[in-house]
């Protein structure tokens, strides 16, 4: 069992899916935006779904319409959808009763806590959790700390008010203290390409999950 819920993003292969499922992550995410570097064909996603048990499957979309999201979710039998930073509120309102929804918020160096809260408050009635994505702009925890508006105390306050999942790179030794203090809803990690079919090194992710693993 892990100390926090984990969502694995942008999975493109069965090797990743099995690895994350073995660590008992809560959600497996798959990029369904055609043309994206880590796009996965729906037929491959469906095949992976038949091989992996015990996790929830999430379709990841950027600017797809509510009808498009609904069709894909129903066709593939997915459990949830994650919608992008610029997906309009109307799309969430149309999907409110159709599926479990996540909302990505991409963090930039100039992003303030006030701006994050304003964004969250507009979408909160329709969203299960918000993914604060620092990684998309290569903002590490040390970078974030250099901005006083994103310190631990204020992020803790944000997590007390809203379900927050962090996509944020930090050393495993720092992660455990961060989780204890901030107490987010969950954490996000990313899949990657196989070195060859069926083989991949998971050394960095092993360090991450070993820190998160609860002692029995």
Q: What is the pLDDT of residue 172?
A: 84
With bands split at pLDDT 50, 70 and 90, how would you rate the model's confidence at 21? Answer: very high
Residue 99's closest CA among 86, 85, 83?
Answer: 83
pLDDT of 216 over the 50 cut: no
CB 72 within 8 A of CB 59: yes
Q: What is the pLDDT of residue 149?
A: 57
With bands split at pLDDT 50, 70 and 90, how would you rate the model's confidence at 196? Answer: very low
Q: What is the pLDDT of residue 190?
A: 87
Coil, strand, or helix at residue 11? Answer: coil
Two structure tokens written together for 126: 């329709």
Residue 191's closest CA among 55, 87, 72, 91?
Answer: 55
Q: What is the pLDDT of residue 199?
A: 46
Section 123-128 average pLDDT: 96
pLDDT of 141 over the 70 cut: yes
Q: What is the mean pLDDT of the chain?
A: 89
Determine the Cα–Cα distance for residues 173 and 80; give it in Å rounded to an integer: 32
What sign does the CA torsion over 140, 145, 149, 152 have? positive
* pLDDT tens, position by position, 55-92: 999 999 998 999 999 999 999 999 999 999 999 999 99
CB 61 within 8 A of CB 87: yes
**The model's pTM:** 0.92
How far from 118 is each of 50, 93, 104, 105, 122, CA to CA, in Å? 40, 17, 14, 11, 7
Determine the Cα–Cα distance for residues 211 and 108; give it in Å rounded to an integer: 27
* pLDDT tens, position by position, 91-123: 999 997 667 999 999 999 888 889 999 999 999
Section 151-159 average pLDDT: 90
CB 158 within 8 A of CB 194: no
CB 122 within 8 A of CB 89: yes
CB 86 within 8 A of CB 128: no
Q: What is the pLDDT of residue 140?
A: 84
């Amino acid at each position: 069992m892990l100390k926090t819920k984990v969502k694995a993003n942008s999975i493109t292969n069965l090797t990743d899916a099995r690895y994350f499922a073995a660590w008992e992550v809560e959600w497996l995410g798959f990029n369904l935006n055609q043309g994206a570097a880590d796009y996965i064909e729906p037929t491959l996603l469906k095949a992976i779904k038949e091989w992996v048990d015990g996790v929830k499957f999430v379709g990841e979309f950027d600017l797809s319409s509510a009808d498009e999201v609904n069709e894909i979710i129903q066709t593939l039998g997915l459990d949830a959808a994650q919608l992008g930073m610029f997906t309009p509120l109307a799309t969430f309102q149309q999907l409110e009763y159709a599926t479990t929804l996540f909302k990505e918020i991409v963090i930039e160096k100039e992003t303030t806590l006030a701006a994050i809260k304003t964004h969250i408050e507009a979408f909160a009635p329709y969203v299960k959790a918000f993914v604060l994505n620092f990684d998309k702009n290569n903002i590490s925890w040390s970078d974030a700390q250099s901005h006083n508006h994103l310190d631990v105390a204020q992020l803790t306050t944000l997590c007390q008010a809203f379900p927050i999942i962090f996509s944020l790179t930090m050393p495993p030794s720092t992660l455990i203290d961060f989780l204890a203090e901030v107490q987010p809803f969950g954490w996000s990690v990313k899949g990657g390409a196989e070195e060859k079919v069926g083989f991949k090194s998971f050394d960095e992710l092993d360090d991450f999950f070993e820190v998160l693993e609860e002692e029995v």
